[in-house]
Chains A and B, each alone.
Chain A
């Protein structure tokens, strides 16, 4: 009898102790795999060890679209996470959801955390801010598109790796030489087909993707990427696809393995591909800025960022928001940014971190880490190159990919494909505009 009393007493006191030490849990949903997943887990552990009040719990939810949709579905069900990693093209959808998201500048002010938007690199924060410069989401992993080069293959083809091709015509020439030297299944290729050939292409050549500063100025934006320059570029790709001087590798980055396996010696994809290349490429490699057409006025301008940012979801308690704000301050710490940058290849988000890495001479040994930064800061951004913000971007990218695939497959002319991409995209944008303007 007395043992039972003792047992009940022990159980009750255990329950009481757990209730008293309630750490505030902060759920962080993300889409990072492989080496980048390790970076996230390490950051969460470091934060949790550095203080006892809050506990950041990261959960991998799938690819970027999967994570975003999981978050939206969770919000509709009433249990959204605190922090959600949303890729850059989901920005318009997230921005339009007033009430569902808590803007970062509001969060930091309410939590009393020191926050200076000017400490962050303008090319990055401009994308995630309102027209007035108020930051809506917290930039986390930003990248840009670079051209990865297999230096061994270039040498074999009689090209000089120290002088990588700068313009598109030079890339086409190099690809033809690579094909002649044995890479006959692929001269050059790209991942993220719409990012490469519509979005980054337009910014890099200082031509608009759509009106209203590519949508940054308003949801009434109208697409316009069926200009003669775009049509000419797509026609070039269509012609080169015929003998695989250019070989299409799919809509997203599932074809990136063709670079690390050595099949495609020139490959345009995210600078965040760095971790994969470092671990898996068994040849000498480097990267270079994206190529451009020399007869386009103003090219090269500057590139737009890719990657993702962290959005804070609405409807949470103030003390939970304090934890989120503390975590964001933790992430902005200069040394931490430098470490993340060096480990993952993603860009440092603060000016101080960029400067520190540069001063330490790190870029002399690892120039490939600086390429995306040089692209982003190449020139002062114009209305065409500050970024883009289109609603339903996932669907837009899908239908733009479909049209490009139709052109590459010979089903339509390049001009027809781009015209259709623009008209179908505009219909979708008008639909999106209807749902948000009320």
Chain B
């Protein structure tokens, strides 16, 4: 029997949808249009003088070599964060899925980092890894490993990737755990009876059945790495040293809020929006075909 909502009054569905549409319009579409409009303007910080300059802000951006570096940094950063957090989440979920004593405790301990705000996560890791204050940093110095995220771009990138990925592992863990629980035990047991080892069982049976969850998490992780990691970067490295950890979203903030260049910042915002829309469309078009529902 198909469930279908039947509305006797013509306006009721619109009235029910109206609040959500209002919220989406005011908090998503209006700022987006304002960003697009502002990207065509050249203004001073106080908004006292406005000049309509067509695509100048965009041309200025694309003729700046550091912008391409920022795009590359963002791609590297997002890929690393997505790969590390997805694989760690999957690994932990498949281990926590086993019937263990205190499984509930392990799961809770693995889930709580998600509740930590990005900036707080950044500061936590900073206390471990800061070259002067950090405990781990002192340990590294004792071992003779050079660690200076204030000057070395790779060290700084390592630091922010670790903090950003750590936060997202628990989110992925939660979803993978749910996905694993949905797999019927009979399929796995049948494979075990046929003599498949656990790793082979995992890759040929469990993982393909997890693909809907994995696809969803891939999209969410990419969006997270592009946008929500701002707090981590701002708390830890402020985009430095020498722009080594400046992602696109951080650059929007740095140029707009700190630098007062609102037109350029709006242009960057619009470009970032288009990149993420493109990435998500590609994911939905090509990767979704491989998902087994």
Residues of A that sit less than 8 Å from B by CB: 65, 69, 72, 75-76, 93, 96-100, 185, 241, 248-251, 255, 257-258, 261, 263, 392, 394-395, 398, 401-403, 405-406, 408-409, 411, 431, 434-436, 438
CB of B270 within 8 Å of the partner chain: no
CB of B102 within 8 Å of the partner chain: no
> Nearest 5 pairs between A and B by C-beta?
A395-B259, A405-B241, A435-B44, A405-B242, A406-B242
CB of B228 within 8 Å of the partner chain: no
Are B45 and A97 touching (Cβ within 8 A)?
Answer: yes
CB of B34 within 8 Å of the partner chain: no
Are A394 and B241 touching (Cβ within 8 A)?
Answer: no
Q: A251 to B45, alpha carbons, bound, how many Å?
A: 23
Are B259 and A394 touching (Cβ within 8 A)?
Answer: yes
Q: Tell which of A96, A405, A434 touches B151, judged by Cβ atoms closer than 8 Å.
A: A405
Q: Tell which of B46, B49, B152 touches A75, judged by Cβ atoms closer than 8 Å.
A: B46
Q: Tell which of A392, A409, A436 touches B241, judged by Cβ atoms closer than 8 Å.
A: A409
Min CB gap A106→B, angstroms:
18
Are A401 and B240 touching (Cβ within 8 A)?
Answer: yes
CB of B88 within 8 Å of the partner chain: no
Min CB gap A420→B, angstroms:
10
Min CB gap B257→A, angstroms:
5
CB of B153 within 8 Å of the partner chain: yes
Are A398 and B132 touching (Cβ within 8 A)?
Answer: no
Are A250 and B150 touching (Cβ within 8 A)?
Answer: yes
CB of B260 within 8 Å of the partner chain: yes
Are B45 and A72 touching (Cβ within 8 A)?
Answer: yes
Chain A residues, CB < 8 A from B238: 251
Q: Tell which of B46, B132, B150, B242 touches A72, judged by Cβ atoms closer than 8 Å.
A: B46
Min CB gap A278→B, angstroms:
21
Are B258 and A65 touching (Cβ within 8 A)?
Answer: yes
CB of B19 within 8 Å of the partner chain: no
Q: Tell which of A241, A257, A434 touches B132, judged by Cβ atoms closer than 8 Å.
A: A257
Q: A100 to B49, alpha carbons, bound, how many Å?
A: 11
Interface of A is mostly: helix
Are B258 and A395 touching (Cβ within 8 A)?
Answer: yes
Which residue on chain A has the smallest CB distance to residue B240?
A405
**Extra inter-chain contacts (15) besides given A93-B44, A405-B242, CB under 8 Å:** A75-B47, A97-B44, A97-B46, A97-B48, A185-B132, A250-B150, A251-B240, A398-B258, A405-B240, A406-B242, A409-B152, A409-B153, A409-B241, A431-B42, A435-B43
User: Known contacts A250-B150, A409-B242: does B45 contact A434 (CB below 8 Å)?
Assistant: no
Which residues of B, 227-251, contact A by the 8 Å Cβ criterion? 238, 240-243
Which residue on chain B has the smallest CB distance to residue A438?
B49
Chain B residues, CB < 8 A from A257: 132-133
Q: A76 to B49, alpha carbons, bound, how many Å?
A: 12
Min CB gap A196→B, angstroms:
15
Chain A residues, CB < 8 A from B150: 248-250
Are A431 and B261 touching (Cβ within 8 A)?
Answer: yes
Q: A403 to B152, alpha carbons, bound, how many Å?
A: 13
Which residues of B, 10-67, contact A by the 8 Å Cβ criterion? 42-49, 51
Q: Tell which of B44, B48, B254 touches A398, judged by Cβ atoms closer than 8 Å.
A: B254
Are A69 and B257 touching (Cβ within 8 A)?
Answer: yes
Chain B residues, CB < 8 A from A395: 254-255, 258-261
Q: A394 to B45, alpha carbons, bound, how many Å?
A: 12
User: Known contacts A257-B133, A395-B258: does B151 contact A100 (CB below 8 Å)?
Assistant: no
Q: A249 to B151, alpha carbons, bound, how many Å?
A: 9
Chain A residues, CB < 8 A from B152: 409
Q: A96 to B45, alpha carbons, bound, how many Å?
A: 9
Q: A405 to B149, alpha carbons, bound, how many Å?
A: 11
Which residues of B, 156-196, contact A by the 8 Å Cβ criterion? none
Q: Tell which of A69, A406, A431 touches B258, judged by Cβ atoms closer than 8 Å.
A: A69
Min CB gap A323→B, angstroms:
23
Are A411 and B44 touching (Cβ within 8 A)?
Answer: no
Chain B residues, CB < 8 A from A248: 150-151
0 or 1 for each of B80-122: is its CB under 8 Å from A? (1 = yes): 0000000000000000000000000000000000000000000
Chain B residues, CB < 8 A from A185: 132, 141
Are B151 and A241 touching (Cβ within 8 A)?
Answer: yes
Q: A227 to B152, alpha carbons, bound, how many Å?
A: 26
Chain A residues, CB < 8 A from B259: 392, 394-395, 398
Are A96 and B255 touching (Cβ within 8 A)?
Answer: no
Q: A93 to B259, alpha carbons, bound, how many Å?
A: 10
Are A99 and B240 touching (Cβ within 8 A)?
Answer: no
Q: Tell which of B47, B132, B153, B257 touches A258, judged by Cβ atoms closer than 8 Å.
A: B132
Which residue on chain B has the smallest CB distance to residue A241?
B151
9 A-B contacts (beta carbon < 8 Å): A72-B45, A76-B46, A97-B48, A99-B48, A258-B132, A394-B260, A395-B259, A405-B151, A409-B241
Q: A392 to B44, alpha carbons, bound, how many Å?
A: 10
Chain B residues, CB < 8 A from A408: 151
Are A402 and B242 touching (Cβ within 8 A)?
Answer: yes
Q: A314 to B242, alpha carbons, bound, how many Å?
A: 38
Chain A residues, CB < 8 A from B47: 75-76
Which residue on chain B has the smallest CB distance to residue A410?
B151
Q: A213 to B109, alpha carbons, bound, how many Å?
A: 61
Which residue on chain B has the smallest CB distance to residue A97?
B46
User: Known contacts A405-B151, A409-B151, A409-B153: does B260 contact A392 (CB below 8 Å)?
Assistant: yes
Chain B residues, CB < 8 A from A392: 259-261
Which residue on chain B has the smallest CB distance to residue A424?
B66
Are B242 and A263 touching (Cβ within 8 A)?
Answer: no
Chain B residues, CB < 8 A from A431: 42, 261
Chain B residues, CB < 8 A from A65: 257-258
Q: A411 to B152, alpha carbons, bound, how many Å?
A: 10
Which residue on chain B has the smallest CB distance to residue A250?
B150
Which residue on chain B has the smallest CB distance to residue A431?
B261
Q: A250 to B132, alpha carbons, bound, how many Å?
A: 11
Q: A93 to B114, alpha carbons, bound, how many Å?
A: 41
Chain B residues, CB < 8 A from A255: 132
User: Known contacts A395-B255, A438-B49: does B261 contact A403 (CB below 8 Å)?
Assistant: no
Are B241 and A263 touching (Cβ within 8 A)?
Answer: no
Q: A98 to B44, alpha carbons, bound, how many Å?
A: 11
Q: A248 to B260, alpha carbons, bound, how many Å?
A: 27
Chain B residues, CB < 8 A from A251: 238, 240
Which residues of B, 203-241, contact A by the 8 Å Cβ criterion? 238, 240-241
Are A435 and B49 touching (Cβ within 8 A)?
Answer: yes
Min CB gap A321→B, angstroms:
19
Chain B residues, CB < 8 A from A402: 240-243
